Amino acid sequence: MSQSTPHRATSERNCSRREFLVTTGLGIAGAALTGCATTTAHPERIIDIHQHVNYSDRPDNVLLLHQRAMGATTTILLPAGRPMKSEATHDGVSNGLEAKAFGNEACCQFARAHPKEYRFAANEVPNVEGATAEIEKYLKLGAVMIAEQKFGLECDSPEMQKIYALAQAYHVPVLMHWQFKRFNYGFERFYKMLEKYPRVNFIGHAQTWWANVDKSYLNDEKNLYPKGPITPGGLTEKYLADYPNMFGDLSAGSGLNALTRDETFTSGFFERHQDKLLYGSDCNDHEGSGPKCQGAQTIAAVRRFAPNKKVERKLLYGNAKKLFRL
């Protein structure tokens, strides 16, 4: 998939007027937007660790407005690897992170155009020639993590371990999309990597990561969004509890599902892992508020289920600020 952005200049010109109108509207609307801070004069800061450029063809100016409407004051953009047909990309089907997401250069340029609000990650298909050199190029340009690693490879393969070693050398986290029989195979043995690379901070994300908060869950590619009561103590909880270098990304429908499927579970989960959980949106809507915006719903869920204000601020801001040294 091409990473060029011919619409970008036009988008930026159109953005100025729209930004003014939306900002003015936000000043009037105040707290009416779901997930926004209580006042616009002194909003509570929110760090969103998981967004994408061109997500499902969403224009750049709409992404800007979406994040502001949602209340995110700092956003980290996660690039795709280069498009190719290979086993790791399921013969090209999962190019663009299966979401039409653009790559390293687009994320870097976007963040540099909006330095007060955006940071960027670096990424590449791990088993392609020159993968680590491509990632290292953007780490040197200021990328704050390696993400989103969403490829069809064994989690402990030599190619993936080169990614972990690079993250260790540059002191940046690695965010991994866990999806049974689809992306990052071998979740049950990932503890070996946590132990082998103790100085690398890993961030878990997606369906298999969140389904496994439930101790009774059996990995099932047909049941990636389980419903109903959760038995605490699943493998995800064990990773969070037992390994200082394991963190969790609250983003996407998988994260929101885990937080809302059993309301008796979530407050205790937040309490137990209050220093290990990070807010992310990973949503492709255009609104940034209301029922269509899963990212705004996740903010609302954090505020609803956090046992106290201190824990809420850790999840929405403090933990990410510390982990990414923002």
Lowest-confidence pick of 14-18, 43-47, 160-164, 278-282: 14-18
Is the pLDDT at 146 greater than 50? The verdict is yes
Is the pLDDT at 108 greater than 50? The verdict is yes
SS3 46: coil
Give this prediction's pTM: 0.88
Q: What is the pLDDT of residue 43?
A: 79
Residues 196-214 have a mean pLDDT of: 98
Share of the chain above pLDDT 90, in %: 86
Domain ranges of the chain: 42-323
Q: What is the pLDDT of residue 50?
A: 98
Instruction: Give the CATH number of domain 42-323; options: 3.40.50.300, 3.20.20.140, 3.90.550.10, 1.10.3720.10.
Output: 3.20.20.140
Q: What is the pLDDT of residue 67?
A: 98
Q: What is the pLDDT of residue 29?
A: 35
Q: Which two tokens stand for residue 75?
A: 């956003």
Cα four-point dihedral sign 238, 72, 314, 300: negative
Q: What are phi and psi of 315, to 5 degrees?
A: -70, -40
| Cβ atoms 124, 162 nearer than 8 A | no
* DSSP strands (E only) in the chain: 47-51, 74-77, 118-120, 146-149, 174-177, 202-205, 246-249, 277-278
Residues 240-262 have a mean pLDDT of: 98
Share of the chain above pLDDT 70, in %: 87
Q: What is the pLDDT of residue 5?
A: 39
Beta strand pairing status for 118-120 and 146-149?
unpaired
Residue 42: pLDDT band (50, 70, 90) is low
Count of other CB atoms within 10 angstroms of residue 213: 26
* One-letter identity of residue 321: K
Lowest-confidence pick of 20-29, 52-61, 77-86, 266-275: 20-29
Residue 39: pLDDT band (50, 70, 90) is very low
Residues 303-308 have a mean pLDDT of: 98
Q: What is the mean pLDDT of the chain?
A: 90
Is the pLDDT at 254 greater than 80? The verdict is yes
CA-closest candidate to residue 257, choices 283, 231, 224, 284: 224
Is the pLDDT at 134 greater than 90? The verdict is yes
